[in-house]
Amino acid sequence: MARDRRPWGRDPDRRRQKTSVLVALVLASLTLITLDSRTSSPVDPARRAVGEVFGPIEVATASAIRPFTAVPDWFRSHDAMQQDLLDLQAENSDLRSQLATDDYNRNRLQEYDGLTAAARSIGYSLVPARVVGLGPSQSFSSTVTIDAGSDAGIHPDLTVVNNDGLVGRVLRVTRTTATVLLVVDPDSVVGGRVGRSMDVGFVHGRGVLGSDGRLDLELVDDSAVPSKGDTVVTWGSEASGPYVSGVPIGRITSVYTSVRDSAQRAVVDPYADLGALDLVGVVVPSGTDSDRAVIEADGGLR
C-alpha cells in the first residue's frame, strides 16, 4: 500500500496530520511538566491511581522472581560458609574485647544505649516490608517501592530503616505499596548528629547508588571539625518529623574544608547497602493498626 510504504510521501494532508499529532503530544508533555512542577501538584491523584494499579503488579513480579535471585546463594560451598563463620567469630570476639577494655568505646556504647532507650520510651514499632521495585538510575532519582502501604498503617513522612541503618523516608503510599526516598537521593536532606561530639548538621545525598554511594555531612557549627571514623546518627525532630532520632546513618570516611563557604564538610559512607535492599522496616507509632505482624520496640511481635 502506497501510503504505508512512504510515510513521508508527497501527500501534504497526511504529512500535516502527522506533524500535528507530534506537536500535540509534545505540548501535552510540556503541559504535564508545568502542572507537576508546582508545589501542590494536580498530578498527585493520577500518580496514586497508577500506583494502585501498578503496585500489585510490581509486588507480584518481585515475588515471582525472588526464588531465582536467591540461586547464587545456594552455590556457596560448605567451606565458604565455614570460613564465614570463623571470620564472624573472630570479629565478634574482637569486638567483645574492645567493648570490655576500651573506656571510650564503653562511653559511646552508653550513649547509644541512651538513644535506643529514648526511642523505646517514645514507643516506636516497625512494620516489616520488602523492596519490590527500584527506580532506574536513568531517572536520576533514588527511590524504591516497598510492598506495604496504607493498609499496613504506613503514611507519608515515616522513617524507613533496615538492619544496618537508615534507608530513607516514605514519600507517598497506595493501599498496598509505598514509595521510599533513599538517603542517597539528591533531594534527600536528613538532620544528622555526629555520635561522639554531638554536633548537629545536615546530611545530603549525592545521587549515586551502589558501592560508591556517599552522603555529604554539613555541620551547622562552622568551627566544629568531625573526625574520620565517627558515626553519624539521625538528629530527629519532635513528634511528626520525617525522621525519628538516633538511627545510625553512616560512618565518616573523610573530612574536607569547603573553600566556598569556609565550613567543614565530611563524606559519610551509609551503613545500609542501598543498592541491594531487600527487607526493610518502617518506623510507625506503637499501636498502629496493620495488616501484618508489627515488631514492637522490645523485639516482640504483635
H-run or E-run covering 60: helix 44-69
Among 115, 144, 154, 272, contact with other proteins (rule: CB under 8 A): 144
Gap between the Cα atoms of 282 and 179, Å rounded: 12
Residue type, 101: T
Among 39, 40, 121, 138, contact with other proteins (rule: CB under 8 A): 138
Answer for the pair 277, 131: CB distance below 8 angstroms, yes or no.
yes
For the CB of residue 55, give the shortest distance to other proteins in the complex, in Å: 6
Gap between the Cα atoms of 137 and 228, Å rounded: 29
Residue 180 contacts other proteins per CB under 8 A: yes
For the CB of residue 52, give the shortest distance to other proteins in the complex, in Å: 10
Nearer to other proteins, 135 or 241 (CB): 135
Supply 71's cell numbers.
540461586
> Residue 250's closest CA among 266, 236, 232?
232
Residue 279 contacts other proteins per CB under 8 A: no
Residue 121 contacts other proteins per CB under 8 A: no
Gap between the Cα atoms of 195 and 191, Å rounded: 13
Using CB under 8 A as the binding rule, the residues of this chain from 64 to 83 that contact other proteins are 65, 69
The separation between the first and the last C-alpha atoms of the chain, rounded to the nearest angstrom, is 68
Site size with other proteins, rule: CB under 8 A: 67
For the CB of residue 110, give the shortest distance to other proteins in the complex, in Å: 38
Residue 37 contacts other proteins per CB under 8 A: yes
Residue 270 contacts other proteins per CB under 8 A: no
Nearer to other proteins, 10 or 78 (CB): 10
Answer for the pair 163, 278: CB distance below 8 angstroms, yes or no.
no
Residue 11 contacts other proteins per CB under 8 A: no
> Residue 162's closest CA among 187, 130, 138, 188?
130
Supply φ then ψ for residue 225, to 5 degrees.
Answer: -115, 110
Using CB under 8 A as the binding rule, the residues of this chain from 185 to 204 that contact other proteins are 185-187
Answer for the pair 294, 164: CB distance below 8 angstroms, yes or no.
no
Residue 16 contacts other proteins per CB under 8 A: no
For the CB of residue 141, give the shortest distance to other proteins in the complex, in Å: 5
Residues binding other proteins (CB under 8 A): 1, 4-8, 18, 21-22, 25-26, 28-37, 41, 43, 46-47, 50-51, 54-55, 57-58, 61-62, 65, 69, 132-145, 171-172, 174, 177-181, 185-187, 207-212, 275
